[in-house]
Structure 1
Amino acid sequence: MPCEILLPRELIELILLYCDGQTLCAAQHVNREWKDIVNYLDKKYKIWKRSCIEDIPKLELLQYTTLPTTDWHQIYENRTTWQDIQQNIRFHTKVFETQSANKEITCIAATDKYIGIGLGSGKIIVYNQDGVQLKEFTIHLGTSIKSIHFITDEDQNTSIVANYYDMLIIHKLVLETFDALNEYNYGVVDNHTAFDFYKTFFSGMSSRSPYLTIGRFTNDDLNENHTIIANILMHDINYGYGLQLRLLTCILNENLCLVLAMNMMYIVERDDQPNAQFIVRVLMTMPELGREGFRGINLDVWVMNEDVRVSCIRALTTSDPQVMYVHTPTKDIDPTTKYFLPQEVFETVITCIRLHGNTLVIGTLKGWLYFYEINKREDWQTFDIANYSHAMEIDIAFGPVKYISVAEREQRLFYVSSSWDKIRIVTGKIK
C-alpha cells in the first residue's frame, strides 16, 4: 500500500525554490496544487528564468529570447522536450493556407504572433498565428523580396523589416494592421547587399564598401526609424581587381558580429561597456575548392555562430559533388573540421539548413527534412549527418526545401517552404 506523505505548503515552496529546472518540470505535473505552487514561485522569484540561465548555454538562450517579453517556462519546456527527439517528439504536418497561389515564395518569417511571406513579385503578406491574413502590400513591383524580419520593442510595438535589392524598409504594425502614415517609409538603410538581424539590431555590408554597419531599429514615428551604432572599417578585405565579393554577415548580439568575405571569416566584437570600440580580427579561413578558391565555388547554404560554422559548397568549374563542412573553433575544446558528402547520405543535395537552439534541421532537394539534437557544444565534435534523430518527407510534389523559419509557442513550430506557393507547418508534439 503506497505511503502518502503530506507536507505543509510553505515547506513545499521552500524545497521547490532551490530545485533545478528538471525537478520543477516534474513537480508541476504532480497535481493542480503543485502546479499552482510552481506558478506562484515563478511570479515571485522568476524561477523559470533562473533555470534557463543556469541550464541553457548562453549562445543558445539568445536565440530563444528575441522578444522583450519572454515566456521562460515555455522556453525551458520546449528545450527540454527537444533534447531527445526520438523519445519525446511526435511529428505532425499540416498545410498553411496562403493567398499566394502560383506566386514564388522567396522568404518566410515566423514569430509567436505573426507569419510573414515575401514573394518574387515584390509583395509581402502578413498573417496572425491562426492563419488570418492581416495585410498584403507591395514594396516594389517586380523586385524580389530577399528576406523579412519582425522586430518588437520594449513597448510591444511590432514592425516588419523587408530587404529587397540593396535596401531595408521598415513598416510599423499597429493593432494588427498597418499604420498608413508609415506604410511606405523607403530608404531606412540602403546601399547594402548583405543583412542580418538580432532582436532590434541589424548588421549590413556592401560589396562596394569596406565598412560594416551595425545599427538598431527604434520604431520612432519619424522618417529615421533606426540609429547607427557603428561603422567599422574592415581593413583586410580586398575589393580590387573587379572581383565579385562573396559577402555575408551574421549578428549574434549588439556587441558581436561575424563577417564572411571571400574565403575569410572575421569576428567583430566589443566589450559590454559604455563607449567600447569594435575590434576586428580574422577568425578562420574557409576551405577552398577549385583553382580559384572561394571565388570559384558556390556557397549553397550556411549557418554559423560562436560555436560552429556549417557550410555546403560546390565547385563551379568542376563536376565535384556538394561538400558539407562543419568547423568548431571553440576555445575550451579542441577545434575540429570535418566534411561530409550529402549525396552519399541523402542521395540528393542540401538546399536549406536551420539551426534553432538545440535543434538542427536540414532540408534537401527531394523535399525531405532531417532533424538532429545539438544539446551541447561537444555534440559538434561527434556530429555525423548520417546519425539523424528523425527524418520525414514533407511531400514529394512539394519540391525542394528552400526556407525554414521557427516559432516558439506551446510547441516548437517549423514553417517550411519550397520556391513556389507551398508552406507546411511541422509541429513537434510531446508523445
Structure 2
Amino acid sequence: MSRNIQLPPEIIELIFSFCDCATLKVLKSVDCDWRSLIETLIQKRCSRNIPDLDLLEYKYKFSKDGTKLENICENWENWQDIVNNIEFENVSFIYEKKYISCVAVFNDYVAVGLDTGAVHLYNQTEDLLKQFEALVQREPQSIKFVPGFLLSEEPFALLVEYTLVTCIHDFSQEYQSNVFDHQQVFTAYKSYICGVALDGTVTIAQIYKDEDENTKNQQIMLKILKLVKLQVLITNNIFASLSSDKCMILSDDKVFAINYKDENNNIEGIATEIASLDFAMNSVPVLWRDALIFYDKVIITNSQPRADTGQIFEVFLLENAINGIVSSVKRFYLTEVFESLITCLYLYGSTLILGFANGEVLFYEVHDFQSLDLKKYSKLITMFTKLGRILSIDVIESCGKREFYVAGPTFVRKITGKLRIK
C-alpha cells in the first residue's frame, strides 16, 4: 500500500494549527511544501496573536543570530506560561569598582553606566570593548542603543541620558558626539528621539551623521521633525514614550499624544490631550513617581504621595476614558503586598518585571491588566544581598531564551529564562 496520502493544504494547515512553534520548526524540514505551508502558518499566527507594536519591539530585541518569525513566535508562546514553560538561571555578569547606575543591551553588546558619567561597553564574554567618556559629570539615568539600518548591523549610535542632558555618541567613535540639552525628560525609538524642556517645549528629532558646515567636522546631527508647546506646568513628574509614529507624554495627571509622522511637513505640531488620570490621593502633591507608558494603551505608575504613606501602584487603560477621565483598573497599596520598596519597573510585551530595594526581582505574566494581582507573581529571583536595590533592567532575546540584564549599585547580573526541558 502506498504511504503517500495527499491531503488538501487547508486540511494540513488545520492539523498544523494544533502544534506549537517548536514542533512546527521540526516539521519544516520534511519537504519544501511543508516548509512553505508552515512559514505561512507562523506568519498568520504571529499576526493574530502578537500585537503589531509588540512584534516590532521583539524584532528589535532579538539578537542578530536569528530574527525569524518562527523564533519570535516560539519565545512568545513559551512566555505566556512562565511557571510551566520557563526555567531560570541567575549568574553574575559584570563587577565594577565604580557605582553602576544603569544597563542596556543590544545584540552582543552590554553598555554599563557609571557614576563618573562614563559608559563602558562589554561583549557577552565580559571583555571591555570600548569606553564612552562623560561629557557631563553626572551619573547616567538610562542608556539606549540606536540600531543600524539592518538590525544585524552594529549599532548606529549610543544615547546616554543624564539629568537635563542627553549625550549622543557615534558608536564607531569616528564622528563627534552631540548634546541634546535642557530636557526634563527624554525618550527614544530607533533613530528618533524626543525631549521635553522645562518650558514645555517638546522636540522630536531624527539622528543622522553628516559634516558640520561651519567646522567641517564629521559629527552626529539632529533633524528636527516636530516642535510642540505643552500648555502645562512642567514638574519632575513627567514621562514620555516614543513609538513608530506617536509620542505619548504623561505630565502629572495629564496624558498627551503627538503624531510626529503626519502627512504634512510642518515642524510645528499639535499635542492632543487625550485623558486625565484619576490617581489615588490625586489632590495631594506627589513626592515621587515612576511610570511606564505602553504605547497609547496602558500607563503603569508607582507613586509615593507623602512621606508618611507607602507606595501606590496603579494601572490605567486609556481606552477606558469616560468624559476624558481614566480611573485605574488596578490599584495596590504596596505596604499591604510587599516588605520592600519597588525601585524599578520594566514591561516587555506580556511580561512585567518589578525590581526591589532589597535586590529581589519578580516576574509576572500579564495577559489582561484588569486581572493583574501583584501577590501572584510567576517567578521570584533573589540577588546577592550586596547587590542592593535594583536600578535598571534590559533584555535581549535569542532562539529559545530571553536574557535579562539587571543592574544594582556594583553588579550587573544576567537572568536567563529558557524553555524548560519536560
Asked if the contact 1:198–1:252 (Cα under 8 Å) also holds between the matched residues in 2, the reply is yes
Q: Which residue of 2 aligns with 1:91?
A: 88
Q: Report SS of the residue matched to 2:335.
A: helix
Q: Which residue of 2 aligns with 1:206?
A: 197
Name the CA distance, whole Å, in 1 between partners of 2:17 and 2:296.
27
Name the CA distance, whole Å, in 2 between partners of 1:80 and 1:4.
37
Cα shift at 1:336:
4.7
- CA 1:24–1:397: 2 relative to 1, 3 Å: closer
Asked if the contact 1:112–1:409 (Cα under 8 Å) also holds between the matched residues in 2, the reply is no
Q: Kindly, what percent of the aligned residue pairs are identical?
A: 24
* Aligned counterparts, 1:6-405, within 5 A: 6-7=4-5, 15-16=12-13, 20=17, 24-30=21-27, 33-34=29-30, 48-66=42-60, 70-98=67-95, 100-101=96-97, 103-140=98-135, 142-155=137-150, 156-158=153-155, 159-173=157-171, 178-179=172-173, 181-182=174-175, 184-187=176-179, 189-207=180-198, 209-220=199-210, 222-234=218-230, 236-238=231-233, 244-253=235-244, 255-269=245-259, 273=263, 275=265, 278-288=269-279, 293=284, 295-300=285-290, 302-316=292-306, 318-330=307-319, 336-375=328-367, 379-405=368-394
- CA 1:21–1:55: 2 relative to 1, 3 Å: farther
Unaligned segments of structure 1, at least 5 residues:
none
Name the CA distance, whole Å, in 2 between partners of 1:19 and 1:135.
48
Q: Which residue of 1 aligns with 2:214?
A: none
Cα shift at 1:142:
3.1
- CA 1:24–1:392: 2 relative to 1, 3 Å: closer
- CA 1:192–1:367: 2 relative to 1, 3 Å: same
Letter in 2 for 1:237: V
Asked if the contact 2:394–2:405 (Cα under 8 Å) also holds between the matched residues in 1, the reply is yes
Q: Which stretch has the larger CA shift, 402-411 or 262-271?
A: 262-271
Instruction: Report Cα offsets for 1:338-394 as digits up to 9, x if no partner.
Output: 21022222211111110001111111111111111123xxx1111111121122212
Letter in 1 for 2:390: V
Name the CA distance, whole Å, in 2 between partners of 1:75 and 1:81.
10
Name the CA distance, whole Å, in 1 between partners of 2:238 and 2:416.
34
Name the CA distance, whole Å, in 2 between partners of 1:407 and 1:47.
25
Asked if the contact 1:303–1:355 (Cα under 8 Å) also holds between the matched residues in 2, the reply is no
Q: Report SS of the residue matched to 1:381.
A: helix
Letter in 1 for 2:158: I
TM-score by length of 1: 0.82
Letter in 2 for 1:229: L
Asked if the contact 1:289–1:297 (Cα under 8 Å) also holds between the matched residues in 2, the reply is no
Unaligned segments of structure 2, at least 5 residues:
212-217
Asked if the contact 2:277–2:327 (Cα under 8 Å) also holds between the matched residues in 1, the reply is no
Cα shift at 1:286:
3.5
TM-score by length of 2: 0.84
Q: Report SS of the residue matched to 1:96.
A: strand
Instruction: Report Cα offsets for 1:246-265 as digits up to 9, x if no partner.
Output: 32211122x21111223322
Letter in 2 for 1:168: T
Cα shift at 1:237:
0.8
- CA 1:113–1:7: 2 relative to 1, 3 Å: farther
Instruction: Report Cα offsets for 1:95-140 as digits up to 9, x if no partner.
Output: 1024x22x11111111222110111101111112333221023223
Name the CA distance, whole Å, in 2 between partners of 1:271 and 1:171.
25
Name the CA distance, whole Å, in 2 between partners of 1:365 and 1:107.
15
- CA 1:273–1:34: 2 relative to 1, 3 Å: farther
C-alpha root-mean-square deviation of aligned residues, in Å?
A: 3.4
Q: Report SS of the residue matched to 1:61.
A: helix
- CA 1:51–1:338: 2 relative to 1, 3 Å: closer
Q: Which residue of 1 aligns with 2:414?
A: 425
Instruction: Report Cα offsets for 1:176-199 as digits up to 9, x if no partner.
Output: xx33x32x4233x22222111112
Name the CA distance, whole Å, in 1 between partners of 2:242 and 2:86.
31
- CA 1:132–1:219: 2 relative to 1, 3 Å: farther
Name the CA distance, whole Å, in 1 between partners of 2:345 and 2:41.
33
Name the CA distance, whole Å, in 2 between partners of 1:160 and 1:38.
42
Instruction: Report Cα offsets for 1:64-87 as digits up to 9, x if no partner.
Output: 133798432221111111000011
Name the CA distance, whole Å, in 1 between partners of 2:361 and 2:161.
27
Asked if the contact 2:21–2:74 (Cα under 8 Å) also holds between the matched residues in 1, the reply is no
Name the CA distance, whole Å, in 1 between partners of 2:31 and 2:139.
49
Size of the aligned set, in residue pairs, is: 403
Name the CA distance, whole Å, in 2 between partners of 1:67 and 1:35.
31
